[in-house]
Structure 1
Amino acid sequence: MPIKRTHTEKDTLDVIIIGAGPFGISLAAHAVANDLNYKLFGYPMDFWKNQMPQNMFIRTPHDFVSFSDPKDEWTIHRFADETETEIITPLPRTTFVQYGIWFAEKAGVEFTPKLIHQVELTDNMEYRVQTETGSVFYARNVIVATGVEHYKYVPEILNALPSSVFSHPSGYTDFNKFQGQKVAVLGSGQSAWEAAGLLHIAGAESELLYRRDHANYGGSYQSEIDLRELGNIFYELPIEQKSQEWGHSPGSVAHFLRPYVEGKVPELGGVQITSVSLTLDGRAKIDMSTGESREFDHIISATGFHINLDRVPFLNQELREQIEREDRFEQFPKVDEHFQSNLSGLYFAGPLSSHSHGPTFRFILGLKKTALTIIPHLLKRQPVRSANI
């Protein structure tokens, strides 16, 4: 049951944006330009800055990584000119983080560096948002613009091991702690190749194990254009075409990772893990479908992320149960052409919108379409109180 309203009208924000990464910052830039009374919650660029290795690169070519503001003023190229920063592809992760902070400053975006503890619906269809420190805010609209941090996926089979001997690559800013250790990297995608290459650089003895028969390199400038354009039409496609595109990816492993792995990291493709166990000396033993067994000091499960609305920690159970889900894909919220859920004023941006709007929105490529859709709809949907009033 919705909670009772305990504040006055003047205390109500036009919009609260949850998530201070590329999607959240871009949405806030459009909110600023439209004089909306907003708050952007989260630690600026935290996932890119503190949850990923900093001596690696952004997969997307630099021409496509610009955030979105209404006039397309604060692009990566303008950042390069004004800061005298050399922009290259692949783009270093540190440069991308610096650009994100620069963009926010130029666009007038203000951060509220707190995590959200809970979002609830009030009795008059506004949203009550409580931070980790107990502060409470009310808003007519809430945009959930978080990334993939809540959705780490580790195969069930690894749960037979203590967590001390396996981990997901998300959360590591470097792999120096594994120097001198033997480490298995499970997975056939971008994060697996990245982890294996960085482990090798850090002085670990890494090895790639994956089910594919061989490495699947892909990605091109044209494929990025095609993926971006797909986001503009996906929502209106017939279900048959949507089904073909849901698994679309610009290539499993970017070509720029080849020199970090090939000839340096042993690869064993075409294998499945049949069982894992702990040896007497505390190492991880992996049994494979080939009949071989190998022992490692640690396993990096580079098995990606499984998007699931039920794993968003700040949406309470009552609210989650009111959110309509995609048919046969209940882990995704069903959102309309404006990225709005069935609950008026509750929007989803980024990965959580990627089933309704397509794979483009799992990537930076979806920023502009998202911001240019949500903010105008939010303005038209109901009267909003300008920050100038």
Structure 2
Amino acid sequence: MYDLLVVGAGPYGLSIASHAAAAGMTVRVLGRPMAAWRGHMPRGMFLKSEPWASNLSDPEGRWRLDVFCAFRGLTARHAEPLPLEVFSEYGLWFARNAVPSVDERTVTLVAPTAGGFQAVTEDGERLAARTVALAVGVLPFTEIPAPLRRLPKALVSHSSRHADLDRFRGEDVTVVGAGQAALETAALLAEQGTRVRVLARADRLCWNDVPPPWERPWWRSARSPHSGLGPGWRNWFYAERPGLYRRLPERTRARIAAGALGPAGAWWVRERVECGVEVLLGREVLTAREVSGGVRLETASRHGGPQALHTGHVIAATGFRATRDRMRLLSPELRALLATGADGAPEVGLEFETSYPGLFLAGLVTAASFGPSMRFVHGAGFTAAALVRGVGRRLRTGPAEWRIPAGRSAESAVGLTGRREAAG
């Protein structure tokens, strides 16, 4: 039986495994390393985060992105976007050097058993572990607007489902959304000869500014410090103090999670969009139906009334919604025991443990608890260190305290978790 089973081998899963191995735990990592980055993002994309804020985490800080770039003869400079292919290769390099060997099989089910958990792999093998860390990334949580959900997959797709946009050459595509995924996808489509438009509910597009120079007068730094989520004290708090963020009242955290760091495009993609992409603002999709040659969208405009639009394919770059119900990897009985917050996401304690003892979460699904940094690679360092401390504490408590008595509600279970935090 393993001390820790890490499900997922992206930046968070690999970072957690590195910290757990360094702590002397027997750990097994399952999943294809950097799968979402390698197989679900089109060629030609760039990393939106600054290179210095995109390190995977090992306890000694040896396997940083800048070290990898130097090893490869590349540069990773402030305010210079890094190709996604380079970041994906960095993740594979990190996995080879900082992590115990990765089992690339997919886990299909995680269920509770006496003394811990059982994970079932795609080929039917059953693995036992005392604790589990789910670091499944964003793909289980894709969000597609309701009017588009009944269309066949040949006509509508989520932006995270495309590693290659070549199939749309010479076609007509409508991208729904106003964030970086929508705008960069549209730019790439336009540059390959696709007739493309962006359809957004917002009345205007928002663009991130060019980051200020790394070296600048002290008073400018004091007024607007650098952070892993961009300049400014508010971003600094989200990026550098997620532990304090977790201590905010739940209502405050929910409000921030709903509005902080909203849809915006990177400064380096702005000209590409404005020069080559049709943008339809203030428009919301009301209905969508299949017609000859594609899709007919009925949209509502705040300024011009209803309008119809015909397109060959719709790409929904409409983000992700991390809720307990979408965590289908967990057995139904285990899912039902997870206490949730107002937004439907599982609540986690100060060390990323859920209301079910021994089950830990990482990444996007913890953003409601720890803030916007959990939506970015930058949050992996804090998560890995805190979560592995929590795993160590859980391992020391002993199996007798792991099981929630039959019939106990998730609400009462999270109450027990809260009392553990207060005592600790």
* Global fold match (TM > 0.5): yes
Report % sequence identity. 29
Among residues 258, 278, 284, which one is paired with 1:266 in the alignment? 278
Distance 1:250 1:91 in 2: 22
Between the two proteins, the alignment pairs up a number of residues equal to 370
CA contact (8 A) 1:187 1:302 kept: yes
Provide, for residues 30-84 of structure 1, a one-character-per-residue CA deviation record: whole Å limited to 9, x for no partner.
Answer: 1121221110000010100011112111111111001111111111111122221
Indicate the residue corresponding to 2:94 in structure 1: 103
TM-score, normalised relative to structure 2: 0.83
| Residues 183 and 299 in structure 1, CA contact (< 8 A), matched pair in contact too | yes
Amino acid at match of 1:234: Y
Cα shift at 1:232 = 3.4
Letter in 2 for 1:298: H
User: Does residue 317 of the first structure (1) align with residue 329 of the second (2)?
Assistant: no
Q: Deviation at 1:357?
A: 1.5
Match of 1:185 in 2: 175
Q: Tell me how far 1:250 sits from its aligned partner.
A: 6.6
Q: What letter matches 1:273 in structure 2? A: V
Q: For residue 318 of structure 2, what is the aligned residue in structure 1?
A: 303
2:51 is equivalent to residue 58 of structure 1: no
The residue correspondences of 1:15-54 to structure 2 (distance < 5 A) are 15-54=4-43
Q: Is 1:354 matched with 2:336? A: no
Q: Deviations for 1:301-323, whole angstroms, at most 9, x for unmatched residues?
A: 11111112222222010111112
Residue 238 of structure 1 deviates from its aligned partner by 3.2
**CA apart distance, 1:240:** 5.1
Q: Bigger shift: 255-264 or 36-45? A: 255-264
**Pair 1:382-2:395 in alignment:** yes
Q: Secondary structure at the match of 2:240?
A: helix
Return the match for 2:123 from 133, 140, 144: 133
User: Is there any run of 5+ residues in structure 2 with no aligned partner, and where?
Assistant: 212-229, 399-424
SS at match of 1:72: coil
Q: Write out aligned runs for 1:145-184 (5 A).
A: 145-184=135-174
Amino acid at match of 1:48: W
Q: Aligned partner of 1:109: which letter? A: P
SS at match of 2:133: strand
Q: What amino acid is aligned across from residue 379 of structure 2 in structure 1?
A: G
Give the equivalent residue in structure 2 for 1:341: 354
Of stretches 347-356 and 21-30 in structure 1, the one that deviates more from structure 2 is: 347-356
SS in 1 for 2:141: coil
Say if 2:269 is the partner of 1:278: no
* CA distance in 2: counterparts of 1:25 and 1:337, whole angstroms: 20
- Give the aligned partner of residue 402 of structure 2: none
Q: 1:262 aligns to what SS in structure 2?
A: helix
The residue type equivalent to 2:352 in the other structure is F
- Counterpart secondary structure, 2:25: coil
Aligned-pair CA distance for 1:231: 1.6
Tell me which amino acid in the other structure corresponds to 2:365: L
C-alpha distance in structure 2 between counterparts of 1:250 and 1:61, whole Å:
18
How much has 1:160 moved relative to structure 2? Answer: 4.6
Structure 1 position 78 matched with structure 2 position 91: no
- Amino acid across the alignment from 2:276: K
Against the structure 1 CA distance between its residues 291 and 341, is the aligned structure 2 distance closer, same or farther, given a 3 Å change threshold? Answer: closer
Q: How many angstroms apart in 2 are the aligned matches of 1:108 and 1:366?
A: 18
Residues in 2 aligned to 1:253 and 1:360: alpha-carbon distance in whole angstroms: 17
Change (3 A) 1:94 1:199: same
Task: Give the direction of change, closer, same or farther, for the CA distance of 1:90–1:250 in structure 2 (3 Å limit).
Answer: farther
Alpha-carbon distance in 2 for matches of 1:274, 1:375: 46
Distance 1:113 1:319 in 2: 24
When the two structures are superposed, what TM-score results if normalisation uses the length of structure 1?
Answer: 0.90
Separation of aligned partners in 2, 1:325 and 1:239: 11
Superposed, which structure 2 residues align to 1:218-237 within 5 Å?
Answer: 218=208, 220=211, 221-223=230-232, 225-237=236-248
Whether the 8 Å contact between 1:174 and 1:198 is mirrored in structure 2 is: no
Is the partner of 1:325 in helix, strand or coil?
A: coil
Q: Does 1:291 align with 2:306?
A: yes
Aligned partner of residue 291 in structure 1, secondary structure: strand
Question: Per the alignment, in what secondary structure is the counterpart of residue 129 of structure 1?
Answer: strand
Whole-angstrom CA distance in 1 between matches of 2:100 and 2:390 = 20
Give the CA deviation at 1:282.
3.0
Deviation at 1:324, TM superposition (A): 1.7
TM-align CA RMSD: 1.9
Cα distance in structure 1, aligned partners of 2:240 and 2:262:
13
